[in-house]
Amino acid sequence: MNFMFENENENITPVTEEMPEAVQYDEEEENSGDTEYPEYDEYETEEQVIPKKKNFFLRHKVLSILLIILIIGAVLIFAVIIPKIKAAQDALNTKTQNFEDIEKRNIANSIAVTGTVKAKESRTVSTLVANTKVVSVSVEVGDHVTAGQEICVFDKDNLLNKIENLEKQMNVTQAKSDETVINAQVDVNKANTTLANDYVDNSTNVARMQQAYDDALKDYYNACDGFEAAKKARDEAKTAYDGVQGGYNEAKSRYDALPDGVKAGSVSADATQTAIMKDYTYWSQQNSSLKTAYESAASKVSQFESNIASAETKVRTAKQNLDDAKIKTDRSLIADASNVATSELSQSTKNIEATTTNDNNRETMDSYQTQLEGYVITAPISGIVTSLSVAVGDEFSANAKTEVCVIQDDSEWIIEGTVDQYDISSVQKGMKAVVKTDSTGDEEMSGEVTFVSPVPATSSSGSSTSSTQSSSGSTTANYPVKIRLDERDDRLRIGMTAETSVILDQAEDVYAVPYDCIKEREDGTFYITVTDAKGESKAAESANGFGEKTAPDDKKNMKGKERASKGNDMAGEAVTRDITVKKGLETDYYTEIISDELKDGLKVLIPEDTEAANELDYPFIMMEDEGPGGGPGGGPEGGF
């Protein structure tokens, strides 16, 4: 009910608007005391009305207090609790998104090898000098020397005196040996002359016997050829003779069947009988002629067989004569050669006897010369002196090999390490490598594998780690490898530990992202989710019931599958899209991606698992789709 007063300072008649029909006043209700509405007269003054209102609140204190509590509770719920609950729900439902710049980089698969820095070459310099002492040392440990540079010098005066005396003794001995050798040479020359003369005579006789043998052999071959020709003629005559036997036997059979009178001519023969006798006469002549030819050919075969036997006898005689001549020649040659050998042996014996002492002297001289060379020790290679075992005044008395120094060629650095049996088959000579040491920090030095051992080194333990697998074991076979650095670095020292990665395969200057950024579709293609954002966000264009901004529905289907998503590295909602890519080289962490859509400045979404809350543990559940003004206890139109 609403009251309107025209003048607050005067007693006026209250003007009432429409009174709800539900408001009824009667005496019975007023007297009963159950009504909550005050009774007043139509023309009561303001002073009379106000006290009645106050009396209403005084009479209903409990109801008034409850009403005030409900109002305060509603204000607290809308102003404090509901925003906090919504913020907590949003925090649980929000998936954190991280982005990483898509950049071109070098990626590789490798095998890690822990090795030791070694010099290119190491030489231990030794000497065999004896009965002398060190007179000077020209280097110290750590000095760099060049090949041929003097290291130290021993006292050689005593040795030089020995060499001079020995040379005089050798000259005297040489003169005596020269005379002995000349006399022996004369005897050798005579023996050689006899050998040459006998060889000529015997060679002439052998040649004559050889010619006789060749002639006899020729006659034998001619007899054999005649025998083969006669044998062929005989066989042909025999074939011809055998060929008429059928006709002859048939004609003879018909002839034998004729009457004897007809055959004797006492009885006249008819035409048939005459033809039979004529045919028989023909075949008889053929048979007789061919038989005679066959027998003649057979006779010639026998004659040639006799000729062959005679030729064989001549050949054997000629061969025996030839053999005898050769034997004679050989015996003469042996005898003469033996004489020559005896002469030469005598010469050699005299040479040996004359030079025995000198040979011993030469051995002594060689020893002196070897020692003399060792009295001045020079560097065999260029490098750094890493060990020095002599000092001025040191004496050497025994003929024993003594170490002077160690020189290592540090013009190149070699990393020596081992690779276990699981990875060694992947390592090959010529592979590239990357090396790091404590002295060079994170700086990478390039190198190349120069040696891969075919057999393992003796080792009780060992390990190596590849890009896809690590292996270790107390009984693993380890194979030595060597890696030469491409450039010398003055910060390295011999014996330093070096961490080396042998490159199995690599890709340079390619776009690559963490492998878990690449997702696969049902059709087998791959894609990544990227954003072009540089820290800015997509502005919201509508608000929900709690005052939060949301993207409009038409933004959900933008070209390139752009979608609004929250990222923890940029404010607001970063616009993302999917790019179809192809995989290239895959490593432990990064995978090469290939696409025409890739460019510098893109950021790739890095997946991060975030569990969303499905239910809030609060005294009540807030529905996300309630409209403005809705809330606990709110009706269809909101409010209380």
Put simply, whether the predicted model's pTM sits higher than 0.85 gets the answer no
**What distances in angstroms separate CA 594 from CA 29, 346, 511, 526, 606, one per listed residue?**
90, 91, 7, 10, 18
- Phi/psi for 636 (5° steps) reads -60, -30
- Phi/psi for 45 (5° steps) reads -85, 175
Summarised one tens digit per residue, pLDDT across range 92-101 is 555 567 889 9
Q: Does domain 107-156+384-509 have CATH number 2.40.50.140?
A: no
Summarised one tens digit per residue, pLDDT across range 618-632 is 333 333 333 333 333
According to DSSP, the β-strands at 376-378 and 150-154 are antiparallel
Summarised one tens digit per residue, pLDDT across range 325-360 is 889 888 988 988 888 888 888 888 887 777 677 778
* Dist CA 203 CA 231 (whole Å): 42
Q: Which two tokens stand for residue 438?
A: 């404590």
Least confident of 235-244, 433-442, 594-603, 608-617: 608-617
* Dist CA 445 CA 433 (whole Å): 8
Summarised one tens digit per residue, pLDDT across range 365-420 is 888 887 787 789 999 999 999 999 999 998 877 667 788 999 999 999 999 999 99
Q: Where are the domains of the chain?
A: 3-92, 98-103+511-606, 107-156+384-509, 158-374
Q: Which two tokens stand for residue 516?
A: 């878990």
Dihedral angle of Cα 161, 163, 165, 171, to the nearest 10 degrees: -160
Give 119-133 as a DSSP string: EEEEEEEEE---SEE
Residue with tokens 């490593």: 587
Q: Is 340 exposed, middle or buried (0-12, 13-18, 19+ CB in 10 A)?
A: buried
Of 294-303, 357-366, 422-431, 623-632, highest mean pLDDT? 422-431
Q: What is the pLDDT of residue 94?
A: 54
Mean pLDDT of the chain: 77
Q: HSE, CB side, 13 Å, CA atoms: give it for residue 556.
A: 4
Amino acid found at 545: G
The percent of residues in the chain predicted with pLDDT above 90, rounded, is 31
Cα maximum dimension of the chain: 213
* Dist CA 181 CA 350 (whole Å): 7
The percent of residues in the chain predicted with pLDDT above 70, rounded, is 74
Give 381-417 as a DSSP string: SSEEEEEE---TT-EE-S---EEEEEEEEEEEEEEEE
Least confident of 89-103, 265-279, 602-616: 602-616
Amino acid found at 318: A
Residue 2 has pLDDT above 70, yes or no: no
Amino acid found at 554: D
Q: What is the pLDDT of residue 547?
A: 31
| Three-state DSSP state, 526 | strand
Task: Give the residue among 458, 498, 501 at the shortest CA–CA distance from 476.
Answer: 458
* Dist CA 241 CA 319 (whole Å): 43
- Phi/psi for 162 (5° steps) reads -65, -40
Amino acid found at 110: S
Q: Which residue has the higher pLDDT, 294 or 122?
A: 122
Residue 638 has pLDDT above 80, yes or no: no
Residue 18 carries which DSSP code?
P
Q: What is the pLDDT of residue 309?
A: 86
